[in-house]
Amino acid sequence: MSLRHFLTFIRFSHTLFALPFALGSMIVAARGWPGWLLFGLIMGCMVFARTAAMTFNRIVDWEIDQRNPRTAQRHLLLSKQAAIMACGLSALLFVSATIMINTLCFLLSPVALAIIFFYSFTKRFTSFAQFFLGMALALAPVGAWIAVTGKIAQAPLVLALGVLGWVAGFDVIYATQDVEIDRQEALHSMVVRLGVPQALTLARWLHVFLLGALILFGWMTQQYLGYYLFLIPVPLLLIYEHRTAKTLQLDAINRAFFHTNAIVGFLFLLATCLGRL
């Protein structure tokens, strides 16, 4: 097994989605730079938790993914036994890292793992699977805030709700690629339940909700004008993503999905850095 194959297997590049929101939350909570040690531990938690979540998801969906033309080649990259070992090791490293941060992070680490693992089963019984994925990624800004302050506050919860809506929205768009195979496999999603046009309408409203949450988070944490200026391109990027989604061209959707959402996260991180560092 090569490192490149493993990173492809877990879609490591998609770490770019939740990571900026965790780091932005960290910077706001610390009112600046929290120090290299805490930064490293938070980064470690992000990488280990996501690796555990992705490998677990691959294990749970192993047979289903092999029957899906879009994902059929994925399991040639890694054996199932190696995936199980990687999942267990990543979860252990995640919990170990939280021990080094603070007591509350450690106590909540099993809850975090339970939530991110539970998502992998949701497509089997609920159309709200995209929202459970959003919940899993929404843990990132809350966890980073707790890592810095040792307590939960309202502001990161508002940000987490925005992330939940954002992720659920772009995963609805992503799920349009699998609507037929999901129906064949009797799997649930908002696209299967609502149909593609109505699901895309829901995704647009979820991204409007994200914008409201980002503005409210800025107000609650007393951000400077620069924070809001950096958010101006966000709705334009999301409009581009949704216009691309309406074409139903899979290659274009994949490109828009990755680049647009990576930039949205990066803009949020820049916005928080501007007023704090």
pTM of the model: 0.90
Q: What is the pLDDT of residues 13-43, one digit of tens each?
A: 556 778 999 999 999 999 999 999 999 999 9
Q: What are the CA-CA distances from residue 237 to residues 52, 80, 101, 231, 261 (Å)?
A: 30, 38, 35, 10, 8
Instruction: Categorize the per-residue pLDDT at 49 as very low, low, confident or very high, splitting at 50, 70 and 90.
Output: very high
Cα-only R_g, the chain = 18
Most confident of 18-32, 68-82, 238-252, 255-269: 18-32
Whether residue 46 is predicted with pLDDT greater than 80 in this model: the reply is yes
Based on the number of CB atoms within 10 Å of its own CB, is 250 exposed (0-12), middle (13-18) or buried (19 or more)? exposed
Of all residues in the chain, the percent with pLDDT exceeding 90 is 64
Per-residue model confidence (pLDDT) at position 114: 97
79 — alpha (psi -120 to 50), left (phi > 0) or beta? Answer: beta
What is the fold of 19-276? Tetracycline Repressor; domain 2 (1.10.357)
- Unique residue bearing structure tokens 């659920």: 168
Q: What is the pLDDT of residues 194-208, one digit of tens each?
A: 999 999 999 999 999
More confident residue, 188 or 201: 201
